[in-house]
Chains A and B, each alone.
Chain A
Amino acid sequence: MSQAHIRAAMSGQPNCGKSTMFNAITGGSARVGNYPGITVDRLEGTYRKNGYDIKLVDLPGTYSLTSYSMEEVVARNVIVDEHPDVVINMVDATALERSLYLAVQFMEIGAPLVLGLNMMDEVKRSGVTIDIKRLSQLLNVPVVACTARLGQGREELMAEVVQLAKDTKGLWTPIRLSYGPDLDPILERMTKRIEEEQFMTGRHDPRWVAIKYLEGDELVIEAGRAAGPLSAELEAVCAEAEQTTRANSNTTPDAIIADWRYGFINGLLKQGVVTGGDELRRNISDNIDRVVTHKLLGPLIMAGVLWAMFYVTFTLGAYPQGWIEDGFTWLSGLGTAYIPEGYVQSLIVSGILGGVGAVIGFTPLILIMFAMLVFLEDLGYMARVAYMMDKVMRIFGLHGMSVMPLIMSGGIPGGCAVPGVMCARTLRSPRERLATILTAPFMVCGAKTTAYLMLVAAFFPASPTGAMFAVVIAAWVFVLLVSRLLRSTVVKGESTPFVMEIPPYRLPTLRGVAVHTLERVWQYVKKAGTVILAVSIVMWAVMTFPELPEDTVASFDARRFIAEEQVRTANPQATGEDLDTLVSEAQKPITDEQNEAALQYSVGGRVGSFLKPVTDLAGFPWQANIALIGAFAAKEVFVSTMATAYSMGEVDPEDATSLSDRLAADPAWSLPAILSVFVFMLLYTPCMVTVVAIAKESNWKWALFSVGGSMAFAFVMAVTVYHTTRLFV
């Protein structure tokens, strides 16, 4: 059976429920990809019904189609370059007027449009009636009422897509809006010249090009200058137009165009489309916000929410974490029992199970943390946080929207700098974005959380929550201060517009939260299965080879033999098991000494000792040296390397002493050394993956700056902390 193929694009403003509808339509078929050269995610999915095969691409959410942000450029380019058969525009029907502003711009380009009026349940509840039929007639566009969170309107929407694709057959007809007596004649003139010269008409509608010139769209004008000499003529006309509009109404052409677009929408809605309601009415969200963003209560509630997230994560997450650790202990036991002693056993038990197990053990914590974060995001609380925090963030040269990438990176522990750095894309200012990207890796990401949890359990067993809280506060302080420093030195410049919508509170759907959470947790587990597995093996090899020379091993064997003989002579009556216990007790210090000697003899140990004169300034124990080197690959490796460093050659699989206990028992970890490692861990070079992400989001120059700068800064801070604390201890 042959299928008819339709290519459709899904568009909409932020918070319009576009993703929910996209998921409802494509089911589990969606695949994440990338637009070439940039890092905006490209989501694609398919919908099949009645012999139609509809390929759907999800455009980034934008309010408009200017060229000020990467998202807007992407959305526009997909429409212009890929020329989809149909564009679905999801619309927040509770804010119809503003939402149609984007729809009108799609109609100006000429794309065949299907409007999905989302949130119709909320509209009904607020006592407003929208005459769908009338709206459809006036716009001359099919309109479908939807409630995406319930999946309502999905089939009808897709039926309209099929119908529209059949009707238009790929033919685009841009609408001709009037932009008033000042601009219309000028537009007419420009359009005519563009048509005559066939100026960029292969890609764009002539009148649309003229509008973009009048709007001063940098990308179109730049492309125009490359396309031909007509550009200079058009720019001259634009300058003339600006003189006219300045003289007549003291404003610029782009302002007039926006006015007339809104005028068109407003006039249309007044023709009986929307009845009832009051556009300034207070809704439930406004009432909630009177408390949630209250002068005093707001910040208190925010602190409370953050604290609650901690509490829930660490208390609730402890149970599954324990089960997973038990599972890995059991697996290690199996490995020791069934794999013959030697390199393979050592590799699997110490290297792989020890390394990966330590990381996987933290998955439940990250799952719980992510679920709460996604919930707060979808609820709309994060926008309130940005609103409340902007004034503070601005002091440090950041933006209210920086809060989000910072939180994602681990401003609430459990995040990850990779999505954090990537989500800094929502920042329109290149400078604030750069400062955010460069400092976000200081935050306590999930990987560092694992390291800190282990260290905190070892050294501050009495108040783990308090210690973790202190680490997080320290992270924020460093991020803000360093941002300020960067914004007044290497990334100087003015701040950018804040202009932001505060969406109404909307209870997220269980499915939405689950899908997003699992996606992120899966990324983490994948990292554990690939990078960390590889690094665990490499680290194991680095710490195993070269082995101690035979004569050294022989001397340890001899000492063990002597110890055994001494035990036998001292306890002539002891036999069987009792004797074995006594012997192994006597031999243990010798074995430990041998293990330590072996590790120091290995490549890892040698690098560690080589760096020791330097790291001694910061008081690091030598195991931390190796672990911190390994952690550049992925911060989780810190825990697994420490585990390897402290358990390598362990003969007794029944020994349940956890890594934390072993650390606590090691006298090398004095309080100054502990604090020094804590600070260094927080600030030093981001992991490999983050460095790559930084390079992708900015360029390699900044990525290398991040590597070198963080390392130097972290070392200076660690040395300072070490020596300052030593004065008091």
Chain B
Amino acid sequence: MADWYKCPVCRKLSLEHQDLARHYLGQTDKKHKDWLKSKNLSYSHLITMQVTEFGNKGYDALAKVLEKEAAVVQVDVK
């Protein structure tokens, strides 16, 4: 069994919060964007950070929020 982190909006599961953040910023629909707004985060700001600065700053900023918000799901990887 392993701990997976669940996207607060859809069914996506990731083993790392940063990977979940990557998934999140790759989504173009309103539901994902609305959840960000509800957390006082700006999609535009996160993307701009990610694409104009080196490193994973945009993903890391969102990952920190997801550490608190993403539900943990135990999945048997076998």
Q: Does A associate with B in a complex?
A: no
Binding site for A on B (CB under 8 A): none
